[in-house]
Structure 1
C-alpha cells in the first residue's frame, strides 16, 4: 500500500514546471496515486494584471493570465503526465497567487504530497522576497518535493 494516494503538482506551462509534472507523474504512476495538476492564474481584469506585475516582478513572464490559457496549460501538462506514467489525473485551474492556490488544492484534494519545481530558489529576488518552492515548503502541512528543474 502506497503512502501517497494523491499528489498535487503545480504548473505554469514553462519547461521547468513541466519537468516537475513529469517527475510527479512518475511518482503517482508508480504509487498508483491520483495526480492533481494545478495551475494558478490571474484574472484578465487589467487592474488585476497590473497588480500581479507589481507583485511578481521578473517572474511575471512565467505567470498565467486568464482562465483559458490556464485550462490549456493543465491540458498540456496532463498529456505530459500520461506520457510519464500517471494513469489517474485530475486538472484544476484556479484564480489566485501560486502558493495560496497550491495549498488550497492540496487541502481540497487531501493530498499527501505537493510537488514543485525549484525555479526561483537561487535568484536574489527569491532569496529576499521568497519563491514559490520555498514558500510552499515553509507553509505546507504535507510533504513537499522540490524537483531540480533549472
Structure 2
C-alpha cells in the first residue's frame, strides 16, 4: 500500500462529522499527508429541502459553513494533522466532496456513516454510500453513529 498524500474529509458541524474529521486527521498525521476539510452549504432552505436527504445536516449559508470549518480545522490540528486546509462549496455534500477529491487529486476520502443504515438512506441513498459509488479514490467510512 502506498502512503496517502492528500486526504479529503467533509464536515457539517455535527458531532458525527467531527469524529470523521478527527479520524482523517490522525491518518493525515501518520502519513504526513495534506488534509482538506470541506463543508457544503445551501443558499436557501428551498434548495436544501430539494435534496430529500433527511439523514444529513443541511448547512444554510456561507457563514455557518465557515464556522463549521473553523471548528473542524481546530479539531484536526488537535488530532495531529500538520497540513490542514479548509474549503467551502455551495451545493450538496456529495457534489462538494467529489469536487474536492477531483480538484485536489485526493488519495483518500473519509466520511462518517450517518444515514447509511437509515430507512431514508436505504431508499434514497446516503452521503457515504453515494460518495463510495462515485469516488475513484479510496473511501473510508468511519463508524460515527450507531
Aligned to 2:89: 94
Gaps of 5+ in 1: none
TM-score (norm 2): 0.95
Inter-CA distance 57–105: structure 2 relative to 1 (3 Å threshold): closer
**What pairs up with 1:1-150 in 2 under 5 angstroms?**
3-44=3-44, 49-59=45-55, 62-150=57-145
- How far did 1:58 drift? 2.5
| Native 8 Å contact 1:118 1:149 kept in 2 | yes
In structure 2, how many angstroms separate the alpha carbons of the residues matched to 1:8 and 1:87? 14
Q: Deviations over 1:19-62 (max 9, x none)?
A: 00000000000100000000000014xxxx213214235336x1
Moved over 3 A (4+): none
TM-score (norm 1): 0.92
Aligned pairs, how many? Answer: 145
In structure 1, how many angstroms separate the alpha carbons of the residues matched to 2:50 and 2:86? 28
Inter-CA distance 57–100: structure 2 relative to 1 (3 Å threshold): closer
In structure 1, how many angstroms separate the alpha carbons of the residues matched to 2:50 and 2:42? 13
More helix by share: 1
RMSD, matched Cα: 1.4
| Native 8 Å contact 2:55 2:120 kept in 1 | no
In structure 1, how many angstroms separate the alpha carbons of the residues matched to 2:58 and 2:116? 16
SS in 2 for 1:58: coil
